[in-house]
Amino acid sequence: MCNNVLVTSRRILVASLFMYSCYHPSRYSSALALGDPSLTVEEVTPRVYPSGSLFPVEERIVQLFEKNTYSVVNIFDVTLRPQLNVTGVVEIPEGNGSGVVWDGQGHIVTNYHVIGNSLSKNPSPGQVVARVNILASEGVQKSFEGKLIGADRAKDLAVLKVEATEDLLRPIKVGQSSSLKVGQQCLAIGNPFGFDHTLTVGVISGLNRDIFSQVGVTIGGGVQTDAAINPGNSGGPLLDSKGNLIGVNTAIFTQTGTSAGVGFAIPSSTVSKIVPQLIQFGKVVRAGLNVDIAPDLVANQLNVRNGALVLLVPGNSLAAKAGLLPTTRGFAGNIVLGDIIVAVDNKSVKSKAELYKIWDDYNVGDKVVLKILRGNENVEIPIVLEEKNS
């Protein structure tokens, strides 16, 4: 009953206003106005205060961003294109990320997984695998073909080359990740979700983390940060408070696909070791032993809980010449365990993964002493490291 009365009252009011407007149009507009004619626009306009100078810490961050933006590029995998979904929103494919200008010769460093779709087709060196957009001084992004120089899946790094003029190429300054401390400030620059260059600021929240890369490999020595790192930041720089490169952003720990406060970067010490090799050889020359090491699961099934179990030793390898023994089968078909590497130069080895991490600290031709568990005996074997086959 009340609702019917209310609806009827509204209809009468509207009809009355319509009839009134026919004879008094100017008064009708006034009747519908909700403003206060006793006030002027000037009276209700708030005073605008000047922003003034930035605080020193803010000014420093702004300057770092403005300076390093020109060293950060946008990268698009040529085999993937942004597409419109049913709602008309542009979907940015996984092959969209960032990179850094490495030198004045046009070398660009990014993540392997940013151009992973192109790399899965086994392109030859010099083949175009990406589009690289570089920010010019006038604020316009210029597009170039990114030709493959080399890629390393094990460290999730790749090097491209663009034919750009020297005035566009502003190399990033590389810092020392070995001196990082938890708690120090860091900045991440990238191109998340296809937007223009963006900046996030945080602190180093952890060191020597294992990074589980998007290409399915584990990278040791990772830098952990709470600076927001989103998919488009991949391949972009993580900078210290002086603007030096301390890592290449590579992954986020999340269940939603967006930043959850835990991001990871490949340390600059690793980048500085891998990138020059990719530029010179097109691949990474890794030191180690050309032997087959049992996967940890297989080693556990054979009751090897500590160390790296040697499965196969090629006859022409330096390991064979040094006397390293493989795993074999006895006359009765039983498995005879080979040598178990438990240390390299007094560095403890608990698993295959730890052994591979240790090799990162050495070069081809280095001499090391392996501590071996052979049956119930501890044996030391001096050996020269050779180039590991991929």
Q: How far is CA 96 from CA 77, 161, 239, in A?
A: 6, 17, 21
Give the start-end residues of each E strand in 331-375. 335-336, 340-344, 347-348, 367-374
Half-sphere exposure of 262 (CA within 13 A, CB side): 11
227-228-232 Cα angle (round to 5) = 130
Known active-site residue 234? yes
42 backbone dihedrals φ, ψ, rounded to 5°: -60, -35
Q: Which of 263, 239, 387, 372 is nearest to 307 (CA)?
A: 372
How long is the chain? 390
**364 φ/ψ sector (left φ>0, alpha ψ -120 to 50, else beta):** beta
| Amino acid at site 142 | K
d(CA 155, CA 351): 19
Phi-psi region of 254 (alpha: psi -120 to 50; beta: other; left: phi over 0): beta
CA–CA distance, 225 with 223 (Å, rounded to integer): 7
* Catalytic pick among 71, 118, 213, 234: 234
Q: Taken in order 318, 319, 322, 327, is the CA torsion positive or negative?
A: negative
Which secondary structure element, helix H or strand E, spans residue 15, and what is its range? helix 2-23
Give the span between the Cα atoms of 148 and 130, in whole angstroms.
Answer: 8
Q: Of 113, 197, 240, 360, which is the active-site residue? A: 113
Burial 44-54 (b: 16+ CB within 10 A, else e): eeeeeeeeeee
Q: How far apart are alpha carbons 94 and 200 in whole angstroms?
A: 20
Tell me, yes or no, if 156 is annotated catalytic.
yes
What are the CA-CA distances from residue 129 to residues 92, 106, 144, 222, 280 (Å)?
A: 17, 15, 11, 27, 19
Q: Tell me which residues are annotated as active site.
A: 113, 156, 234
